[in-house]
Structure 1
Amino acid sequence: MGSLLNLPMIVGGDFHCFLNQGEKKGGRRYSYSEGAQKIVEFLVDNDLHDLGFLGPKYTWSNNKSGNSKIWVRLDRVLMNSEGLRLDSLAMVKHLIWLASDHCPLLLNLTSKMLRPGCRWFRFEDNWMTYPVTWKLIWKNWNKQDYGKPREVLNQKCNRTLKALFFWSRNWLKELGELKISLEGRIKEL
C-alpha cells in the first residue's frame, strides 16, 4: 500500500455511513457508531480527505414524508494528499435528485493553469487583531466532535479555519464597499 500513497487517488461513492450529527436530519440522534469509526480509520490509514461539496447538504433520503423523513449525507468523494497537491482545486457538487434516493455527485478536476490561485487557506495573524474573531474561534472550537483525538483536532482546526476564512472574505468585501463609498463622498467634497 505504501507505493499507492505516492500516486494521486480519488475514492467516491455511497459509504452508507455519516460521520457527525451535522450530516443527518431527522430520525434517531447520532451516535459515533462502529461503522463511523471504521470509515474514519479507513480515511486516516489511506491518507484520504473529504473534498467537501457545493449544493444540497444531504445526499440520501428515505423518501418518506412528515416526521418520518430522514436526510443524510452518505455519499462523498475523497482524495489523498498527493491528489490534493496536484489538483488542489478539485470540487464536488451535489446535484438534484432524479430517479434515485441518492443524489448524483459531480467531481470537477480543473487544471491549475485554467484557474489561478489555490483553495488552501491558512491562519492569518491579522485575524487576531479583531475581537470578533476571538468569539468566532471560541464558538467553532468548542463544538462537540467525536472520534480519536487526532480526528477531533483535525475537525476543530478545519471548521475554525473555514469560519475565519469566510468571515475574512466577507469583512474584506465590506471594507472594499466602504472604501468605494468613502471615495465617492470625498469626490463630492
Structure 2
Amino acid sequence: MDLKGDFFTWTNKRAGNNLIQVRLDRALVPNVWVCNYLCSLYALSRIGSDHYPISYFVESVFRKRKFPFRFEKMWLSHPFLYDNIKKWWNISINGSTMFRVAKKFVEVKSNIRKWNKESFGNIFVNKATIQLDLKEIKDKIQVKGYLDDHLARENEILSKLHDINSKEEEFWKQRLTATWLVAGDRNMKFFHLSTMKHEASNRINHIIRDGILFDFEANISCEAVCYFSGLLSDDMRLRPEAQ
C-alpha cells in the first residue's frame, strides 16, 4: 500500500552526510479490503525509536454516489452510435447560441444514458445471465450428447460471452491508469482491483481548515462548498485557508 505521512520509516539519527533514511516497514492487505473499504497506511511521528511507527486505518465502507457522465469506449462498437448522436444533436432549440449548445449537450447525455440501458444494459448482470445459459446447455449436452440444436445453441452463447467479455475488458481498461496493457489481456480481476485502488487513492478522506480536521463525508462537502464560495467573495481577507 502507498504510505502517507513521512516517506521513510527508519533513520540512523545521524547528522549531515552520515544521515541515512530508508523505508523498511510496509503493509500487505487482502484484496477484498481494498475493494470494499477505504484503506490508508500512515507513518506516524517517531519519538524514541529509530523506527517510525506505521498505522493502518480502515476508514469506512465505500458509499454509493452519483457519478458524472462518462463516455464509454465500448459504445464505439455499436454500429448506430454516430447516427444516434447526430440525430440527438440536431434537435431544434430556441435561444442564444451558448444556451442552445448547452441544452444540446444535456439532451445528448440524457439520450445516451437511456440508449445505453437499452442497448448495453448492465454488462455484469448480462454476463451472469449468459454464464447461466452456458451452464444449462452444457448440462443438456452431458445428458443427451451433441444434438444439432445443442451445438448451435452453445455456439450462440459462446459468441455472446465473447462479446460481453470484450465489453467488460474495455469497461475496466478505461478506468485504469496502466498504459502497458495490451489488447486481449482479459485479466478482469487485475483490472477491477487496480481500478478500485485508483479510486481509493483519488478520494478525499479529510480536509483541514483553520487548523480543524474534517473527516466525515458530509462535513467535507460542506467545508468544500464554503471554501470555494469564499473565493468568490469581494473581500480577500474573508477567504478561508484550507489544505
Query: Could you tell me the TM-score, scaled by structure 1's length?
Result: 0.35
The one of the two structures with greater contact order (alpha-carbon pairs below 8 A, sep at least 6) is: 1
Query: Could you tell me the TM-score, scaled by structure 2's length?
Result: 0.28
